[in-house]
């Protein structure tokens, strides 16, 4: 029988994992909108809004690493990758099926917004996976010796 402490720990892990995956998927859906960020008057960046959720994902994996260990943090990262691949399949299928004549969003509009998702997100997932797994290892190398 699980103690209250174990039950609360599992609930916390599931909440953190859900937040991590939601942030990852959100970043991969909103990446085509860009904004201007003036960095203290030194430089003006034009970057994707998809970058906004990513720093929080690293914070979450660090929290999971601290509380639950490297194995659980890696599991969340791989779960996020799986969720993203699943998302890509859904977006690809949604883009492939033709819209009805009465659909408020026609094929061209949908394709303009989501048509590049598979290519762009597929490429970014390689960087994401490497960055997250390296982050977890660095965290444990410096923070958990």
Decide: residue 80, CB within 10 A, 0-12 exposed, 13-18 middle, 19+ buried. Answer: buried
| pLDDT tens for each residue of 95-105 | 999 999 999 99
| pLDDT tens for each residue of 131-143 | 877 888 887 887 7
The CB density around residue 18, as the number of other CB atoms within 10 Å, is 13
Domain containing residue 44: 4-143
Tell me how far CA of residue 79 lies from CA of 34, 71, 94, 120, 124, in angstroms: 27, 12, 22, 19, 16
| pLDDT tens for each residue of 30-71 | 988 999 999 899 999 999 898 899 889 989 999 999 999 989
Coil, strand or helix at 100:
coil
Percent of the chain with pLDDT over 70: 98
Q: Provide φ and ψ at 34, rounded to 5°.
A: -115, 155
pTM: 0.82
Domain count, the chain: 1
**Average pLDDT value for residue range 11-36:** 94
Contact 100, 26 (CB under 8 A): no
């Amino acid at each position: 029988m699980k103690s209250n402490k174990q039950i609360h720990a599992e609930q916390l892990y599931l909440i953190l994992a859900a937040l991590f995956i939601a942030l990852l998927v959100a970043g991969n859906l909103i990446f085509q909108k860009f904004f201007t960020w003036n960095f203290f008057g030194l430089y003006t960046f034009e970057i994707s809004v998809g970058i906004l959720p990513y720093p929080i994902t690293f914070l979450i994996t660090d929290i999971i690493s601290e509380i639950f260990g490297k194995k659980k943090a890696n599991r969340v990262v791989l779960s996020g990758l799986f969720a993203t691949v699943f998302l890509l399949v859904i977006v690809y299928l949604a883009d492939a099926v033709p819209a009805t004549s009465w659909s408020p969003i026609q094929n061209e509009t949908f394709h303009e917004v989501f048509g590049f998702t598979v290519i762009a997100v597929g490429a970014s997932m390689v960087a994401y996976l490497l960055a997250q797994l390296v982050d977890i290892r660095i965290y444990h190398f410096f923070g958990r010796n």
